[in-house]
Structure 1
Amino acid sequence: MTFAFDDPGIMRRLLRDLEELEAGKLDTADILAKAPLLEDHRLVLGWCHAMKGIVTGHPLLPDGGEIVTSQLMYMNPDIGLARTLSRWYRLGMPRPKKGH
């Protein structure tokens, strides 16, 4: 079986973002202001780690729908920011843990 990634530009943007984040050159306030919001979020594991939640402000998906993101590459819940393979997300409230 042959597998080819369909858009190498996605990987280049991801790598650039993670390098800028590591170097302290990333404007996280600007990212948080523009990124889609993911509420009631939680980690999910399928063929990779991803996030599931209710999205608002996504450029391709309708508001209020439950989505599963692309592969999770970075997450900092302290500042409410996550980077998936394809985009940044602003993290709202996580899904409450069962029994709480």
Structure 2
Amino acid sequence: MNKFQWIDNVATERLLKDIRKANRGEFDASALADAPLLEHAKIIRGYCFALSGVVTGHPRLEDDKEILTSQLFWMDEELGICRSMNRWYRLARPNIKGH
């Protein structure tokens, strides 16, 4: 039988730590300052929620490229930030509509 592993233990712990801190209103200012900027963000509904948009400042993707984030776990539209499975994003336009 194949074993399905969606993310490793280190990434899982980092994700959970970030969500717990966000729920308490505690944000790491340096992590958010270095977070990629996502413009024209839209919620995408499929097997999970994710965001699509044009990214700037991503450590592995070129600027001005349209992307689909990994699974969306936490978002605050008023603050203009969200946490996907892999990283924080800053939202250029926090007024997000699903599609």
Shared fold, TM over 0.5: yes
Stretches of 4+ aligned residues off by more than 4 angstroms = 94-97
Matches within 5 A, 1:21-60: 21-27=22-28, 29-60=29-60
Counterpart of 1:5 in structure 2 is: 6
Q: Structure 1 residues 6, 72: closer, same or farther in 2, change over 3 A?
A: closer
Question: Which whole-Å deviations, capped at 9, do the CAs of 1:46-100 have from their partners, x for residues lacking one?
Answer: 2210000000000011101000000000111101100000000000126887xxx
Q: CA deviation at 1:26?
A: 2.4
Q: Structure 1 residues 96, 45: closer, same or farther in 2, change over 3 A?
A: closer
Q: 2:72–2:83: 8 Å Cα contact kept in structure 1?
A: yes
State the number of aligned residues.
96
What is the root-mean-square deviation of aligned Cα atoms in Å? 2.1
Moved more, 68-77 or 86-95: 86-95
For residue 25 of structure 1, what is the amino acid of its counterpart? E
Distance in structure 2 (CA, Å) of the matches to 1:23 and 1:82: 15
Q: CA deviation at 1:22?
A: 2.4
Q: Name structure 2 gaps, 5 residues minimum.
A: none
Counterpart of 2:92 in structure 1 is: 92
Q: Name structure 1 gaps, 5 residues minimum.
A: none
Distance in structure 2 (CA, Å) of the matches to 1:43 and 1:96: 7
Matches within 5 A, 1:78-89: 78-89=78-89
Q: Structure 1 residues 74, 45: closer, same or farther in 2, change over 3 A?
A: same
Counterpart of 1:14 in structure 2 is: 15
Q: Percent identity?
A: 45
With the length of structure 2 as denominator, give the TM-score of the two structures: 0.84
